[in-house]
Amino acid sequence: MADASFSVLMITANFYPHVGGAERQALTLATSLKNRGIEISVFTQKKKGLKSFEEINGIPVYRLRSFGPGFLNSLSFMVSLSWRLIFRARSHDIFHAHLASSPALTAAFWGKILRKPVFIKLGAAGEFGELKMSSQTLLGKIKILLLRLLRPSFIALTLEQEMEAQKYLGEVSIHRIPNGVNLRKFRPSSAAKKVLRAKWRLPLEGLIFLYTGRFAPQKHLPFFIDAWAEAVKKAKIPAALALFGEGFEERTIRKTAEQADISDRVYFYPPQTHLDVVYPAADVFVLPSLAEGLSNSLLEAMASGLAVLASRVGGNTEAVIDGMTGFLFRPDSAEEIQAQTSKFLAHPDLAEEMGRAARKRVEEFYSIDKIAQRYETIYRLSLTH
């Protein structure tokens, strides 16, 4: 490990213990960079019940105050963030913002004034992509215009994101670096399968399909469950679906399961902070989204040795090799969902075989250690220009 001899300030609206994908990835990356000898600090928004300052995995986390709803909340956080950036600028060599939101705009502005390299890591792409959605509102268009003028560097997770960034941001510096996963934390554990199924009160026999994440419209869960139900009701082996998450669509999802007459096969759980004791209980990870960047849950599940059943969108198409590490389907095709589900049900050993291939794929391309090394390289280059 090299002596990094520079510091990075990570800026994000939300951070751990918030359990969203972007927040989990920010903590994973920050921890790995710290382990490489890079000094890391985090500025984030203070949430109710959380301390203004604490260390997480040895990383100083400063939670800045904001107030009010909606735009007022964003504006007040930008003011708090600006104040901190002005008076603590000398403590940091690089600003790294997660998601192209108002905190990223603040980082880009003060980075320009203070002559600091700024990196902005993009979020989702496609139909629900943050740049596309921003382009549909006045404030969003202003934000995009300012980002074009300030010209920070951007991190795209996938080719789709890179092309979308070029479309909306023009000729800016874009680095394509995917999300990474901690291969020591997330790993296969066949010996623990029945123990974990008992822990979560899941069926001990048959195939368990698993989803983790938000219950939101873009995840397309009601449509998927309706199609999945038709396949499992015809299968000769038992199958169940475990859903870990929360969101306003939960009632619709439950109603869909009831109407499809599979309520006894669908299990609901609240979101979990420690998903490493969730994935090994299952066989197939499900991600039926209408749009995706590069899902952290997808990479964690693959690292845990799960086969994948996912929509053919965004980063899914780059991480999953169709027919080798899992099966892909068009998100709007019930027929394809049923057909791909039926392949697992007709050949139960296929999930284990594909799960081994999925683990090898993340080892080769998505190890957080390799991803952190790539970040260190671009950080160093930015400091020499």
Instruction: Clarify whether residues 166 and 202 are in a common domain.
Output: no
Task: Report which residue type is found at 331.
Answer: P
- 93: nearest Cα among 118, 113, 112, 110: 118
The pLDDT profile of the chain, 385 residues, written as one tens digit per residue, is 445 589 999 999 999 887 678 888 999 999 999 999 999 999 999 988 999 999 999 999 999 999 988 889 999 999 999 999 998 888 899 999 999 899 999 999 999 999 999 999 998 777 778 898 899 999 999 999 999 999 999 999 999 999 999 999 998 999 999 999 999 999 999 889 999 999 999 999 999 999 999 999 999 999 999 999 999 999 989 999 999 999 999 999 999 999 999 999 999 999 998 899 999 999 999 999 998 889 999 999 999 999 999 999 999 999 999 999 999 999 999 999 999 999 999 998 999 999 999 999 999 999 999 999 999 999 999 999 7
Per the domain annotation, does 164 fall within a domain? yes
* Residue 170 lies in domain: 7-180+368-383
> In the prediction, which pLDDT does 1 show?
46
Tell whether 2 is covered by a domain. no
Contact present, 266 and 238 (Cβ < 8 Å): no
- Strand ranges of the sheet holding 326-329, from the earlier edge strand across to the other edge: 266-269, 239-246, 207-214, 284-287, 307-311, 326-329
- Using the structure block, give the residue that is written with the tokens 């197939």: 284
What is the model's pTM? 0.92
Q: In angstroms, how far is CA 266 from the centroid of its own chain?
A: 24
Burial classification of residue 139, based on how many CB atoms lie within 10 Å of its CB (0-12 exposed, 13-18 middle, 19 or more buried):
exposed
Phi first, then psi: give them for residue 15, nearest 5 degrees: -145, 165
Cα separations in angstroms, 378 against 34, 153, 217, 271, 272 = 16, 10, 36, 34, 33
Q: Is the backbone peptide bond immediately before 60 cis, with ω within 30 degrees of 0?
A: no
Pairing of strands 39-45, 7-12: parallel
Question: What are 326-330's contacts with CB under 8 Å, separation 24+?
Answer: 326/284, 326/285, 326/354, 326/358, 329/288
State the pairing for strand pair 239-246/207-214.
parallel
What's the gap between Cα 52 and its chain centre?
25
Q: Identify the CA nearest to 261 among candidates 231, 293, 233.
A: 233
Number of domains in the chain: 2
242 with 152, same domain: the answer is no
Angle at 302 between CA 298 and CA 308, to 5 degrees: 70
User: Looking at the structure, do residues 98 and 212 belong to the same domain, yes or no?
Assistant: no
pLDDT for position 89: 82
Which CATH number does the domain housing residue 273 bear? 3.40.50.2000
Q: Is residue 361 domain-shared with residue 373, that is, in the same domain?
A: no
Identify whether residues 339 and 196 lie together within a single domain. yes
- What pLDDT shows up at residue 71? 85
